[in-house]
Amino acid sequence: MESTLQGQLKTWRRHLHQHPETGFEEIGTADYVANILKTLGYEVHRGIGGTGLVANLTVGDGKRAIGIRADMDALNIVEQAPDRPHASRTLGKMHACGHDGHMSMVLGAARLLAEQRDFNGTVRFVFQPAEEHGRGAKAMMADGLFERFPVDAIFGAHNMPGMRAGTFATRPGGIMASEDNFVIRIKGRGTHAARPHMGIDPIVIGSEIVLALQTIVSRNLDPSLPAVISCTEFITDGLRNVIPSNVTIKGDTRSYSPEVQSLLARRMREVSEGLCRMHGVECAFEYTHEFAPTVNSEQFVDVAVRAARNVAGDGNVDANVQPMMISEDFGAFLQAVPGNFIFIGNGESADRGGVPLHNATYDFNDDILLTGARYFAEVARLELPLG
C-alpha cells in the first residue's frame, strides 16, 4: 500500500507544482484539493477566508477534534529549472517554498486516516491561503474558522532544506519569530551633485539612520533576547548627477515577544525622527505587525515528538531545536488554539532537497512525502486514540 500511496503523493505534488497560485488566488488549487478530499469521503467546506477550505472526518463517538493545516500559496518567482519535467506552467509564479509538498503530505494523511479509520473523534484538515502574505490565517479566523470548526489543538509542518531528509525537529515555546515591517521616508532638498551645499542630502541622512538602527539590538536590548533589524531596500529619486529630494528605507524586524516588538518600534521611531530633526528634514515612520511568533504548546510538543519518533525513529527527531528567526503564518493560529509546529528535513545536498527556500531552482523532495503523511496520521491516532 505504501508504494502505491507514494506514487499518488508524487502525482499530486507535481501537479500542484505545475499549477502554482499566489495568495488569495488559489482557486484552481482549492478545486484540486477539494476534489481529492471529496473522493476520499470527506465533508468539504469551501471559501473560508477567501480561498481556504476545511475537510472533516469523524470516526467513532469521540468528542475531541484536532486540526491539521497545510498552506496552499506559491510565490511570485520565475522558476529556473528548464529541464524539470514538472516545472511551473505559469510564468512568474512557482512553489519555491514547498507548499505543494505540504498539501500533498496532508492529503496523504487524509487518505491514510480515511482508509484505516483507526482513531476516535474528528480530524479537520485546514488548507490555508496566503501564508506568504501573513494574511491567510487571520482571514480564515475572521471568517469564523474555529467557531464553525472548533479544535482542541492544531498541528502544522514545514520542510527544511539543509536538514537531513525525513528527520524532524521541534521545540516547546517559541520556534519561529514574529515579523514586523517598517518604512522610513526622508524628505530632503534635491540639488545638483556639484552643488551639495545648496540642498540637504537625504542619502547621507538615510545612511546614518541605517547604521544607527543597528545599535538598537546591540545596545538597547537585553542580550539574552533574540531580535533582528534588517534594512532591505534603500530607494531614492536621484540621478547620477542629482542629489535626491527623497529617500525611502524599507525593511523588517524579527523577535519573539510583544515587549521586544514594542521596544524595537519605539527606538526605531526615535532614532529615525531624531536624526532627521538634527539635519532639518521631515521624517515619516511606519511600523506594522505582519506575522505573530510561532509558539508551541508543551503538551502538544510531546505529542508531535512521539508521533515523529514512531514514524522516523528516536535518532531522527530533535525535540529541542534551536529557535529560528524566520516567520510563519501558523503562529496566528497558535494565538487562538494550542498546538505544535514541526520541521521536516528536505535534504542536505543541492540535488536532493538542499536548495534554499524561496530560491528560483528550489524543489520539494518527493522522498519525504510519505514520511510527512505518516507523521500527520500518527498525530491524529495519538491525539484521538481508539478505546
Q: Is 132 annotated as a binding residue?
A: yes
Q: What percentage of the chain carries pLDDT values higher than 70?
A: 99
1 falls in which pLDDT band (50, 70, 90)?
Answer: low
Domain assignments of the chain as residue spans, ordered by start: 2-175+294-383, 178-291
pLDDT over threshold 70, residue 2: no
Q: According to the model, what pLDDT value does residue 306 have?
A: 98
Q: According to the model, what pLDDT value does residue 352 have?
A: 84
Q: According to the model, what pLDDT value does residue 387 have?
A: 77
Q: According to the model, what pLDDT value does residue 238 have?
A: 97
| Mean predicted lDDT score pLDDT of the chain | 97
Contacts of 75 (CB under 8 A, 6+ apart): 20, 22, 93, 94, 95, 96, 97, 132, 358
Q: According to the model, what pLDDT value does residue 351 have?
A: 81
Taking each helix axis as running N to C, give the angle between helix 2-18 and helix 99-116, from 0 to 180 degrees, rounded to the nearest 10.
140
233 belongs to the catalytic site: no
* 178-291 shares the fold of 2-175+294-383: no
Q: Is 158 annotated as a binding residue?
A: yes
Q: Is 15 annotated as a binding residue?
A: no
Question: What fold characterizes domain 178-291?
Answer: Alpha-Beta Plaits (3.30.70)
pLDDT over threshold 90, residue 17: yes
Beta partners for residue 157, in sequence order: 342
Q: According to the model, what pLDDT value does residue 273 have?
A: 98
Q: Is 95 annotated as a binding residue?
A: no
Q: What is the pLDDT of residues 248-287, one digit of tens each?
A: 999 999 999 999 999 999 999 999 999 999 999 999 999 9
Average pLDDT for 40-46:
97
Average pLDDT for 338-349:
97
Q: What is the pLDDT of residues 58-79, one digit of tens each?
A: 999 999 999 999 999 999 999 9
Catalytic residue, candidates 73, 100, 179, 252 = 73
131 belongs to the catalytic site: yes
Does CATH place domain 2-175+294-383 in 3.40.30.10?
Answer: no
Q: Is 270 annotated as a binding residue?
A: no
E strands, the chain, in order: 43-48, 52-59, 65-71, 121-128, 153-161, 168-169, 173-176, 178-187, 191-192, 227-236, 242-243, 246-255, 282-291, 294-296, 317-318, 339-347
Average pLDDT for 131-151:
97
Q: Are 11 and 24 in contact (CB under 8 A)?
A: no
Catalytic residue, candidates 131, 318, 329, 363 = 131
